[in-house]
Amino acid sequence: MSRTVGFGGGMPFPPVVKWLVITNVAVWFIGQVVLEGFVLRSNLISSYLSLVPLQVLEQGYLWQLVTYMFLHTTQVTHILFNMLMLWFFGAELEQRWGRRFFATYYFVTGVGAAIIYVAGTALAAGLFNIGVFTLAIPVQGASGAVFGLLLAYGMLFGERVIHFMMIFPMKAKFFVLIMGFVEFASLLSSRERGSEVAYLAHLGGIISGFLFLKGWGWWQRRQWNKKAAQKHRGRNLRLVVDNDKEEDKNGPRYWN
Protein backbone atom coordinates (compact mmCIF):
# COMPACT_ATOMS: atom_id res chain seq x y z
CA MET A 1 0.00 0.00 0.00
CA SER A 2 1.12 3.53 -0.62
CA ARG A 3 -0.41 6.98 -0.34
CA THR A 4 -0.84 9.23 -3.32
CA VAL A 5 -0.56 12.17 -0.91
CA GLY A 6 2.87 12.31 0.75
CA PHE A 7 3.90 13.98 3.95
CA GLY A 8 6.47 16.22 2.34
CA GLY A 9 9.98 15.49 3.45
CA GLY A 10 9.30 11.82 3.98
CA MET A 11 7.15 9.66 6.23
CA PRO A 12 7.10 10.91 9.83
CA PHE A 13 8.12 8.69 12.72
CA PRO A 14 6.46 10.27 15.80
CA PRO A 15 7.57 9.23 19.33
CA VAL A 16 4.75 6.91 20.41
CA VAL A 17 4.75 5.02 17.12
CA LYS A 18 8.55 4.83 17.26
CA TRP A 19 8.62 3.37 20.78
CA LEU A 20 5.81 0.94 20.00
CA VAL A 21 7.76 -0.35 17.01
CA ILE A 22 11.01 -0.54 19.01
CA THR A 23 9.30 -2.37 21.90
CA ASN A 24 7.56 -4.86 19.62
CA VAL A 25 10.73 -5.65 17.68
CA ALA A 26 12.82 -5.92 20.88
CA VAL A 27 10.35 -8.28 22.59
CA TRP A 28 10.09 -10.39 19.46
CA PHE A 29 13.79 -10.63 18.68
CA ILE A 30 15.30 -10.74 22.17
CA GLY A 31 12.52 -12.56 24.00
CA GLN A 32 11.14 -14.93 21.41
CA VAL A 33 13.83 -15.45 18.78
CA VAL A 34 16.94 -15.39 20.98
CA LEU A 35 15.83 -16.43 24.48
CA GLU A 36 13.09 -18.88 23.57
CA GLY A 37 14.70 -20.14 20.38
CA PHE A 38 18.33 -20.51 21.44
CA VAL A 39 18.69 -20.11 25.23
CA LEU A 40 15.58 -21.57 26.85
CA ARG A 41 14.58 -23.68 23.85
CA SER A 42 10.98 -23.47 24.98
CA ASN A 43 8.04 -21.08 24.72
CA LEU A 44 8.19 -20.20 28.41
CA ILE A 45 7.76 -16.46 27.81
CA SER A 46 5.04 -16.81 25.21
CA SER A 47 3.07 -19.26 27.31
CA TYR A 48 2.51 -16.61 29.99
CA LEU A 49 2.24 -13.50 27.84
CA SER A 50 0.20 -14.73 24.86
CA LEU A 51 -3.57 -14.37 24.91
CA VAL A 52 -5.10 -17.74 25.81
CA PRO A 53 -8.86 -17.40 26.42
CA LEU A 54 -8.96 -20.47 28.65
CA GLN A 55 -6.24 -19.07 30.92
CA VAL A 56 -7.92 -15.68 31.09
CA LEU A 57 -11.30 -17.15 31.99
CA GLU A 58 -10.27 -19.97 34.32
CA GLN A 59 -6.97 -18.80 35.80
CA GLY A 60 -7.42 -15.04 35.75
CA TYR A 61 -4.41 -14.24 33.56
CA LEU A 62 -5.77 -10.77 32.85
CA TRP A 63 -2.36 -9.32 31.93
CA GLN A 64 -2.56 -11.33 28.73
CA LEU A 65 -5.18 -8.85 27.46
CA VAL A 66 -2.29 -6.38 27.12
CA THR A 67 0.91 -8.40 26.75
CA TYR A 68 -0.26 -10.40 23.73
CA MET A 69 0.05 -7.20 21.65
CA PHE A 70 3.84 -7.26 22.00
CA LEU A 71 4.37 -10.86 20.92
CA HIS A 72 4.53 -12.22 17.38
CA THR A 73 5.12 -15.55 15.74
CA THR A 74 8.61 -16.45 14.59
CA GLN A 75 7.61 -15.70 11.00
CA VAL A 76 9.30 -12.44 10.08
CA THR A 77 6.39 -11.44 7.82
CA HIS A 78 4.02 -11.37 10.82
CA ILE A 79 5.84 -8.66 12.76
CA LEU A 80 7.02 -6.91 9.60
CA PHE A 81 3.49 -6.47 8.28
CA ASN A 82 2.14 -5.33 11.65
CA MET A 83 4.90 -2.80 12.22
CA LEU A 84 4.57 -1.37 8.72
CA MET A 85 0.82 -0.98 9.22
CA LEU A 86 1.42 0.60 12.63
CA TRP A 87 3.82 3.09 11.07
CA PHE A 88 1.75 3.71 7.96
CA PHE A 89 -1.55 4.44 9.70
CA GLY A 90 -0.35 5.40 13.16
CA ALA A 91 2.12 8.14 12.23
CA GLU A 92 -0.43 10.59 10.88
CA LEU A 93 -2.97 9.72 13.57
CA GLU A 94 -0.45 10.53 16.30
CA GLN A 95 0.37 13.82 14.62
CA ARG A 96 -3.33 14.62 14.44
CA TRP A 97 -4.28 13.52 17.95
CA GLY A 98 -1.14 14.03 19.98
CA ARG A 99 0.87 11.48 21.97
CA ARG A 100 -1.48 10.91 24.90
CA PHE A 101 -4.70 10.37 22.98
CA PHE A 102 -3.00 8.23 20.35
CA ALA A 103 -1.42 5.97 22.98
CA THR A 104 -4.75 5.71 24.80
CA TYR A 105 -6.58 4.79 21.61
CA TYR A 106 -3.96 2.21 20.65
CA PHE A 107 -4.19 0.35 23.95
CA VAL A 108 -7.98 0.66 24.16
CA THR A 109 -8.40 -0.97 20.78
CA GLY A 110 -5.78 -3.63 21.53
CA VAL A 111 -7.36 -4.57 24.86
CA GLY A 112 -10.84 -4.25 23.37
CA ALA A 113 -9.90 -6.65 20.60
CA ALA A 114 -8.67 -9.15 23.21
CA ILE A 115 -11.84 -8.86 25.29
CA ILE A 116 -14.05 -9.34 22.24
CA TYR A 117 -11.96 -12.32 21.13
CA VAL A 118 -12.12 -14.01 24.53
CA ALA A 119 -15.85 -13.35 24.91
CA GLY A 120 -16.60 -14.38 21.33
CA THR A 121 -14.69 -17.66 21.44
CA ALA A 122 -16.17 -18.55 24.83
CA LEU A 123 -19.67 -17.77 23.59
CA ALA A 124 -19.20 -19.80 20.42
CA ALA A 125 -17.79 -22.73 22.37
CA GLY A 126 -20.53 -22.66 25.00
CA LEU A 127 -23.61 -22.02 22.90
CA PHE A 128 -22.77 -23.54 19.55
CA ASN A 129 -19.92 -25.92 20.37
CA ILE A 130 -17.92 -24.24 17.60
CA GLY A 131 -14.21 -23.73 17.86
CA VAL A 132 -13.88 -25.20 21.34
CA PHE A 133 -10.19 -25.88 20.70
CA THR A 134 -9.56 -22.17 20.05
CA LEU A 135 -9.99 -21.48 23.75
CA ALA A 136 -6.59 -23.06 24.34
CA ILE A 137 -4.78 -21.63 21.32
CA PRO A 138 -2.44 -18.69 22.06
CA VAL A 139 -3.04 -15.44 20.18
CA GLN A 140 -0.13 -13.11 19.48
CA GLY A 141 0.35 -9.87 17.61
CA ALA A 142 -0.50 -6.20 17.41
CA SER A 143 -3.08 -6.82 14.68
CA GLY A 144 -6.10 -5.98 16.86
CA ALA A 145 -4.73 -2.52 17.69
CA VAL A 146 -3.52 -2.05 14.11
CA PHE A 147 -7.00 -2.71 12.77
CA GLY A 148 -8.24 -0.14 15.27
CA LEU A 149 -5.80 2.34 13.72
CA LEU A 150 -7.05 1.36 10.29
CA LEU A 151 -10.62 2.16 11.33
CA ALA A 152 -9.60 5.55 12.75
CA TYR A 153 -7.64 6.40 9.62
CA GLY A 154 -10.65 5.63 7.46
CA MET A 155 -12.89 7.79 9.63
CA LEU A 156 -10.52 10.78 9.81
CA PHE A 157 -8.92 10.62 6.38
CA GLY A 158 -11.64 8.81 4.46
CA GLU A 159 -11.14 10.81 1.27
CA ARG A 160 -7.39 10.16 1.20
CA VAL A 161 -6.47 7.96 -1.75
CA ILE A 162 -4.23 4.99 -1.00
CA HIS A 163 -3.00 2.14 -3.18
CA PHE A 164 -4.19 -1.29 -2.10
CA MET A 165 -1.50 -3.92 -2.71
CA MET A 166 0.56 -1.10 -4.28
CA ILE A 167 -1.67 -1.30 -7.38
CA PHE A 168 -5.34 -0.44 -6.86
CA PRO A 169 -6.09 3.19 -5.95
CA MET A 170 -9.07 3.72 -3.68
CA LYS A 171 -10.28 6.05 -0.97
CA ALA A 172 -9.30 5.10 2.56
CA LYS A 173 -12.91 4.74 3.71
CA PHE A 174 -13.57 2.12 1.04
CA PHE A 175 -10.35 0.32 1.90
CA VAL A 176 -11.49 0.06 5.53
CA LEU A 177 -14.89 -1.30 4.47
CA ILE A 178 -13.25 -3.90 2.22
CA MET A 179 -10.84 -5.01 4.93
CA GLY A 180 -13.66 -5.27 7.46
CA PHE A 181 -15.72 -7.37 5.06
CA VAL A 182 -12.77 -9.61 4.26
CA GLU A 183 -12.13 -10.22 7.96
CA PHE A 184 -15.80 -10.97 8.63
CA ALA A 185 -16.08 -13.34 5.65
CA SER A 186 -12.85 -15.07 6.68
CA LEU A 187 -14.17 -15.49 10.22
CA LEU A 188 -17.36 -17.13 8.97
CA SER A 189 -15.53 -19.41 6.56
CA SER A 190 -13.07 -20.61 9.22
CA ARG A 191 -15.44 -21.09 12.16
CA GLU A 192 -15.46 -24.85 11.96
CA ARG A 193 -12.10 -25.78 10.46
CA GLY A 194 -10.18 -23.16 12.39
CA SER A 195 -7.44 -20.84 11.18
CA GLU A 196 -4.00 -19.59 12.10
CA VAL A 197 -5.34 -16.01 11.94
CA ALA A 198 -7.46 -14.56 14.76
CA TYR A 199 -10.02 -12.84 12.54
CA LEU A 200 -12.28 -12.14 15.50
CA ALA A 201 -9.50 -10.17 17.19
CA HIS A 202 -9.09 -8.07 14.04
CA LEU A 203 -12.81 -7.35 13.98
CA GLY A 204 -12.61 -6.68 17.71
CA GLY A 205 -10.06 -3.94 17.07
CA ILE A 206 -12.36 -2.34 14.51
CA ILE A 207 -15.40 -2.58 16.77
CA SER A 208 -13.67 -1.28 19.88
CA GLY A 209 -12.11 1.57 17.89
CA PHE A 210 -15.48 2.58 16.49
CA LEU A 211 -17.15 2.50 19.89
CA PHE A 212 -14.32 4.44 21.52
CA LEU A 213 -14.31 7.20 18.90
CA LYS A 214 -18.08 7.51 18.95
CA GLY A 215 -18.12 7.58 22.74
CA TRP A 216 -15.33 10.14 22.87
CA GLY A 217 -17.11 12.29 20.31
CA TRP A 218 -20.32 12.16 22.34
CA TRP A 219 -18.42 13.14 25.51
CA GLN A 220 -16.66 16.02 23.75
CA ARG A 221 -19.95 17.36 22.37
CA ARG A 222 -21.53 17.06 25.81
CA GLN A 223 -18.68 19.01 27.41
CA TRP A 224 -18.79 21.64 24.68
CA ASN A 225 -22.55 22.06 25.11
CA LYS A 226 -22.11 22.49 28.86
CA LYS A 227 -19.45 25.14 28.37
CA ALA A 228 -21.56 26.89 25.73
CA ALA A 229 -24.56 26.90 28.08
CA GLN A 230 -22.47 28.33 30.93
CA LYS A 231 -21.08 31.01 28.64
CA HIS A 232 -24.56 31.89 27.44
CA ARG A 233 -25.81 32.21 31.00
CA GLY A 234 -22.83 34.40 31.82
CA ARG A 235 -23.73 36.82 29.05
CA ASN A 236 -27.28 37.07 30.40
CA LEU A 237 -26.16 38.11 33.89
CA ARG A 238 -27.12 41.70 34.67
CA LEU A 239 -26.16 44.06 37.44
CA VAL A 240 -29.35 45.39 38.94
CA VAL A 241 -29.14 48.32 41.32
CA ASP A 242 -32.19 49.88 42.95
CA ASN A 243 -31.19 53.28 44.26
CA ASP A 244 -34.49 55.03 43.80
CA LYS A 245 -35.26 54.99 47.50
CA GLU A 246 -33.41 57.21 49.92
CA GLU A 247 -32.42 54.35 52.18
CA ASP A 248 -30.58 52.66 49.33
CA LYS A 249 -28.14 55.51 48.75
CA ASN A 250 -25.42 53.67 50.66
CA GLY A 251 -25.03 50.93 48.11
CA PRO A 252 -26.62 48.48 45.71
CA ARG A 253 -29.62 46.61 46.99
CA TYR A 254 -28.99 43.27 45.32
CA TRP A 255 -27.05 41.54 42.56
CA ASN A 256 -28.52 39.23 39.99
Q: How distant, in Å, are the alpha carbons of 45, 96, 133, 236 from that of 205?
A: 24, 20, 22, 46
Q: How distant, in Å, are the alpha carbons of 2, 87, 158 from that of 165?
A: 8, 16, 18
Distance CA 43, CA 50 (A): 10
Q: Is the dihedral of CA 63, 64, 68, 69 positive or negative?
A: negative
Lowest mean pLDDT across 34-38, 81-85, 194-198? 194-198
Per-residue pLDDT reduced to its tens digit, 19-61: 999 999 999 999 999 999 999 889 999 999 999 999 999 999 9
Say whether pLDDT at 129 is over 80. no
Could you give the 3-state DSSP secondary structure of residue 233?
Answer: helix
Instruction: Note the pLDDT of residue 5.
Output: 40
Distance CA 208, CA 3 (A): 26
CATH code of the region 2-228: 1.20.1540.10
Instruction: Note the pLDDT of residue 242.
Output: 55
How much is the pTM?
Answer: 0.84
Instruction: Note the pLDDT of residue 232.
Output: 72
